[in-house]
Amino acid sequence: MVARYLFVGPSLVDATRQASGSDVVVLPPVAAGDLLRLPLAAGDVVGIVDGFFHQVGAVRHKEILFLLEQGVRVLGAASMGALRAAELDVFGMEGIGRIYADYRCGALTADDEVALLHSTKDEDYRPLSEPLVSMRATLDGAVRDGVCEAAAAAGLIDAMAARPFGLRTYDALCTIGAEMGLDPSILRALRDHCRDHRVDLKRDDALLLLEQLRSADAPPATRPTLSVNRTTFLHAWQLGALGTGNDSSHVPDLGILRALQLFAADYPHFHRGMVLAAIARECATRCGVVTADNPLTAAVLHGEHCGFYKLPADPSRLGFLSQWLTAAEHGTLTLDEQLAVFLVRSFRTTPGTMGDELAMDTLRGTPAWARARRVVETAWTMNELTFARHPGRDLETLSPQRIGEQFASAWAVDGDELALAALDRGIEPDGLVAAARFLYLLARYNPAATRLVIDTEENL
């Protein structure tokens, strides 16, 4: 059975009623990551009408391309959907309606032609301003009806385009027209005519998309072949989309993993064992070498297979280890141990990312995972309460230096060894602050709530 999803908001405030009696699932305006969270399969259909772009990240082109590659049909119209369709129709996204066509042919070029201010989800995304694309059509009608001259209408549209999109309303016509020196009586008549004969192009196009979405079947046979590179960005977005719960209680798996990486005292031990075992498996698969020894021996051997070094190790040719080891490790560990530390800290998976996916697959469903989920929920609650009491502050205003100092102290390492300590926990040093930001307040002010343990033997 084909699954059908519609992302819509102010363009069609009564979308739920309009879609009643069909199997279309109506969702809020699309944002970055939303498409990757859908349980989609080849042949399913997604319709995009509205999308966020200011409050949160806009839906990414790469997300749409990934769906198309998977055999999912993606339709776009009216607003964000029309914009993305005009940009991606050559790759198989299907544009619908007049607004899409105008963007496609260049009659419209500015993104803010379809932008508007709207109310919250609880108020059904009721529009609070007028999209410029609809104002153009409405004023064109006023010119045809003889309410105003074409030159005056064009001047009003130009002036309206210069305003922030949230201030574009028909009530503003009188003010703007007065500044242009137009007759007040004509302006009042024009305002009233626009109110009474309002053209809503976005709604019209949204209804066209919904009509097609109801009956949309498998992708057209003429659809172009598409192959999407799984870049580090797409990989990260896909991992970030994994999780459980609905829109209001969604807990991302990546957040749970970060809690374990940051707070579990035995995470470095777990991470080391997981990585060495993964390297040993890769050696057995790619090189056909299966050793009866422990994973450390197999991993060190595979390092030679990959051309990182020659065995037996010659200390004079291992200068590169200095950037991967502390001074104490350099002076106390055997060469095999030093090489193992290097392999663990430099470990990356395709497409050149840390082993987050491997760790999540290993830990998901364990007692440690459940405990870490509760830590994440506690951290979110604390953040919400804290920032509610301090308007103007949010996670992004937290000091990166203090975040780094907090975890250097928690891990009992000097600041110059913090990067290596992060690698021991499977965290990219450049991403440590971003990974820890949402957990910082909990770690600082309620450390007892952050005590976690992996219990490696149980989970491996």
Q: What is the pLDDT of residues 73-122, one digit of tens each?
A: 999 999 999 999 999 999 999 999 999 999 999 999 999 999 999 998 88
Secondary structure in 3-state letters for the chain = CCCEEEECCHHHCCHHHHCCCCCEEEECCECCCHHHHCCCCCCCEEEECCECCCCCCCCCHHHHHHHHHCCCEEEEECCHHHHHHHHHHHHCCEEECHHHHHHHHCCCCCHHHCCCCECCHHHCCCECCCCHHHHHHHHHHHHHCCCCCHHHHHHHHHHHHCCCHHHCCCCHHHHHHHHCCCCHHHHHHHHHHHHHCCCCHHHHHHHHHHHHHHHCCCCCCCCCCCCCCCCHHHHHHHHHHCEECCCCCCEEHHHHHHHHHHHECCHHHHHHHHHHHHHHHHHHHHHCCCCCCCHHHHHHHHHHHCCCCCCCCCHHHCHHHHHCCCHHHHHHCCHHHHHHHHHHHCCCECCCECCHHHHHHHHCCCHHHHHHHHHHHHHHHHHHHHHHHCCCCCHHHCCHHHHHHHHHHHCCCCHHHHHHHHHHCCCCHHHHHHHHHHHHHHHHHCHHHHCECCCHHHHC
Among 73, 386, 47, which Cα is nearest to 219's?
73
Task: Decide if pLDDT at 158 tops 90.
Answer: yes
348: region left, alpha or beta (phi > 0 left; psi from -120 to 50 alpha)? beta
Q: Residue 169: what pLDDT?
A: 95
Q: Residue 217: what pLDDT?
A: 76
- Average pLDDT for 286-291: 84
Query: Token digits for 208?
Result: 């066209």
Phi, psi torsion values for 96, nearest 5 degrees: -135, 135
Task: Decide if pLDDT at 222 tops 70.
Answer: no
CB 346 within 8 A of CB 429: no
pLDDT more than 90, % of the chain: 85
CA distance 403 to 440: 6
- Average pLDDT for 186-201: 95
Query: Token digits for 213?
Result: 């979405």
Q: Residue 459: what pLDDT?
A: 46
Task: Decide if pLDDT at 456 tops 60.
Answer: no
- Average pLDDT for 258-263: 98
CA distance to 230, 277, 292, per residue, from 301 (Å): 29, 13, 13
Q: Residue 229: what pLDDT?
A: 86
CA distance 243 to 395: 21
447: region left, alpha or beta (phi > 0 left; psi from -120 to 50 alpha)? alpha
Q: Which pLDDT band, with edges at 50, 70 and 90, does 172 fall under?
A: very high
Task: Decide if pLDDT at 219 tops 80.
Answer: no
State the average pLDDT for the chain: 93
Q: Residue 216: what pLDDT?
A: 82
- Average pLDDT for 211-228: 78
- Average pLDDT for 146-163: 95
Q: Residue 371: what pLDDT?
A: 97
CB 72 within 8 A of CB 93: no
Task: Decide if pLDDT at 239 tops 80.
Answer: yes
Among 225, 208, 238, which Cα is nearest to 77's?
208
